[in-house]
Chains A and B, each alone.
Chain A
């Protein structure tokens, strides 16, 4: 039945989140309600199990990696701020008229940050390089058992060959950006939030 979800979120918090992420007031309250409904333990934070309870996410081959992206380094719980910060990456890129002040830095949903989000899905050890192994891991997650090791290996090799410009047999972030130059990242990595 209905819960007083919105009353647990203070106006100051909403304002801060608004500044940080660019979501509107009503979007924040709605997302808070969603956060609250996922939080089965009712402790104000989400654990990995809470995410895995979503069937559509559980059957997504990259499900675990996506869930990981929400959790800061080495932690098992994500609070609402963290949740919103990660979701902010998927806001569509409008001309950020409101955020013209130079102190705010790059908005979370810029093309660069979206690409960084995707890059980090590959780069598990956060060494800013996608090694052959890391690429293979992601490929294996996506194809399951349907492609043999050798074939997958050669696909990975080809991908690295194409992208690698400095010959270190791994893909750095700048090489990653170069490969995806022509791809409409803004559209593919944006979710249309309703007002």
Chain B
């Protein structure tokens, strides 16, 4: 669309303008601060040791700590996990103050353009969008309640589908979201589970405006609760009470029951469990992969140049976030529907989850991480440290299956 091209041009011009004027630009570290070793820790330690004469007894090399030490400091400077929980940094500037680090008075032209941008966004776009949003939500509640009065049957479901789609599309307009759907032939069908990477609550609106899903979530109070109850009248969604969430068997049972009923809509689930900043896909929780039905993976990738869609829930509340979104230029994203996958023979839930995750990461151009998205709020489990210790013990005591050809377990030599 022409709009997108205008933005492109504007951002590039800004970038150029800023660079000309100001030498000491702050450059975001999208290229990384450091270059890390590609060799694994174990290999690194082995290499240093092999340079000496292999000892008959387990021997500690004072230099062993160097590798641990360096990697520790490397992770202080740049680690894979913590940066996924803050907004991605951009090379160019998109006329939003909040994503710019160099906002000095660089030139009058620039400031004027920025000023115009602010005016357009807050005075024109924002009120328009807020009105649309309220309309969309209001309509959703009203229509679904009306439809709920009808008896169950074909008429009800098709009306409900139309109503849902229409309201979500209004909401999409409210955010000025330009969405490109790819491979729509793979769209999720009834009796399956749709799985996607999670960046923000908007993900739901984006997916739901192109197809009908059964939502899964916790029962909320207030406005959300009203919306949830209304939606429930028109077609079956799965809302859990807070207490039920802890009971994994209950959750699994309700999900399987829903899936078994072919008249019910595909379930939409975000297995990461929390919002990630759209540069990577983190560990998928295995719960949804244990159910044993067809999984329809979907990859969602936002274009960060037009507005950062990531919801940093520890920093901003929901209302703040929505206001941010509505006062950005817009949301541009791509949705890829991947071919359905089923769990294969001999594959357990975790492996299946990882396979799906890898496919989504590949399609969306995101980094595939094994780390748990829960690390946003919690500490890492001790188990991982113990694994590192085990690995080092093996090196120290000299269990070598690979290099020396024979499996020699050298026990303690009594002096």
Which positions in A face B, CB cutoff 8 Å?
Answer: 1-2, 4-7, 25-27, 29-31, 33-34, 37-38, 51-63, 66, 87, 90, 117-118, 121-122, 138-139, 142-148, 150-151, 154-156, 158-159, 163, 176, 179-180, 182-183, 185, 188-194
Residue B50 at the chain A interface, CB threshold 8 Å = no
Kindly supply a per-residue 1/0 record for chain B positions 67-99, scoring 1 wherever the CB is within 8 Å of any chain A CB and 0 otherwise. 111111111111111110011010000000011
B68 touches A31 (CB 8 A): no
Inside 8 A of B388's CB, which chain A residues have their CB? 59-61
Partner of B380, one of A25, A29, A58: A58
Inside 8 A of B86's CB, which chain A residues have their CB? 37
* Complex alpha-carbon distance, A121 and B63, angstroms: 12
A154 touches B412 (CB 8 A): yes
Which positions in B face A, CB cutoff 8 Å?
Answer: 24, 26-29, 31-36, 48, 51, 57-60, 62-83, 86-87, 89, 98-103, 308, 312, 315-316, 324, 371, 375, 379-380, 384-390, 392-394, 396-397, 412-413, 415
B73 touches A87 (CB 8 A): yes
Minimum Cβ distance to chain A for residue B78 (Å): 7
A144 touches B83 (CB 8 A): no
A143 touches B34 (CB 8 A): no
Given A31-B33, A54-B76, A189-B69, 20 additional A-B pairs, CB 8 A: A1-B308, A2-B89, A2-B101, A7-B101, A30-B29, A37-B82, A55-B79, A55-B380, A57-B79, A58-B380, A60-B72, A87-B76, A118-B69, A121-B69, A145-B389, A146-B393, A154-B413, A159-B59, A182-B51, A192-B34
Minimum Cβ distance to chain A for residue B391 (Å): 9
Inside 8 A of A190's CB, which chain B residues have their CB? 70
Inside 8 A of B371's CB, which chain A residues have their CB? 55
A194 touches B26 (CB 8 A): no
Minimum Cβ distance to chain B for residue A119 (Å): 9
**Nearest B-chain residue to A33, judged by Cβ:** B29
B76 touches A51 (CB 8 A): yes
Minimum Cβ distance to chain B for residue A60 (Å): 5
**Nearest B-chain residue to A89, judged by Cβ:** B73
A142 touches B65 (CB 8 A): yes
Minimum Cβ distance to chain B for residue A39 (Å): 12
A6 touches B71 (CB 8 A): no
A60 touches B71 (CB 8 A): yes
* Complex alpha-carbon distance, A6 and B35, angstroms: 22
* Complex alpha-carbon distance, A18 and B366, angstroms: 35
B74 touches A191 (CB 8 A): yes
* Complex alpha-carbon distance, A63 and B35, angstroms: 21
Inside 8 A of B70's CB, which chain A residues have their CB? 90, 188-191
Inside 8 A of A25's CB, which chain B residues have their CB? 24
* Pairs across A and B, CB under 8 Å, 22 listed: A1-B316, A5-B101, A6-B26, A27-B33, A34-B29, A37-B82, A54-B79, A55-B79, A55-B371, A59-B385, A60-B68, A118-B66, A142-B68, A143-B392, A145-B386, A147-B393, A147-B397, A151-B397, A188-B70, A191-B74, A193-B34, A194-B35
Minimum Cβ distance to chain A for residue B24 (Å): 6
Partner of A1, one of B27, B33, B63, B315: B315
Minimum Cβ distance to chain B for residue A86 (Å): 8
A151 touches B380 (CB 8 A): no
- Taking A191-B77, A193-B33 as contacts, is the C-beta distance between A2 and B82 under 8 angstroms? no
**Nearest A-chain residue to B379, judged by Cβ:** A58
A62 touches B65 (CB 8 A): yes
A188 touches B63 (CB 8 A): yes
Across the A-B interface, give the 6 residue pairs with the lowest CB-CB distance, nearest first.
Answer: A144-B389, A146-B393, A56-B75, A59-B384, A66-B72, A188-B66
Partner of A176, one of B62, B386, B415: B62
Minimum Cβ distance to chain A for residue B382 (Å): 8
- Taking A34-B33, A142-B65 as contacts, is the C-beta distance between A155 and B82 under 8 angstroms? no
A34 touches B78 (CB 8 A): yes
**Nearest A-chain residue to B74, judged by Cβ:** A191
- Taking A142-B65, A146-B393 as contacts, is the C-beta distance between A54 and B75 under 8 angstroms? yes
* Complex alpha-carbon distance, A96 and B356, angstroms: 50
B63 touches A144 (CB 8 A): no
Candidate in A60, A150, A155 with the most chain B CB atoms within 10 angstroms = A60
Inside 8 A of A7's CB, which chain B residues have their CB? 101
A189 touches B27 (CB 8 A): no
* Complex alpha-carbon distance, A62 and B41, angstroms: 13
B412 touches A150 (CB 8 A): yes
Minimum Cβ distance to chain B for residue A28 (Å): 11
* Complex alpha-carbon distance, A38 and B72, angstroms: 15
Inside 8 A of A26's CB, which chain B residues have their CB? 27
* Complex alpha-carbon distance, A192 and B413, angstroms: 41
* Complex alpha-carbon distance, A154 and B413, angstroms: 9
B82 touches A38 (CB 8 A): yes
- Taking A30-B27, A55-B375 as contacts, is the C-beta distance between A163 and B62 under 8 angstroms? yes
B389 touches A158 (CB 8 A): no
Minimum Cβ distance to chain A for residue B289 (Å): 23
Inside 8 A of A30's CB, which chain B residues have their CB? 27, 29, 33
Inside 8 A of A58's CB, which chain B residues have their CB? 379-380, 385
Minimum Cβ distance to chain A for residue B81 (Å): 5
**Nearest A-chain residue to B23, judged by Cβ:** A25
* Complex alpha-carbon distance, A2 and B92, angstroms: 13
Partner of A189, one of B48, B66, B394, B412: B66
Partner of B68, one of A62, A90, A150, A185: A62
- Taking A37-B82, A56-B81, A159-B62 as contacts, is the C-beta distance between A188 and B67 under 8 angstroms? yes
Minimum Cβ distance to chain A for residue B138 (Å): 29
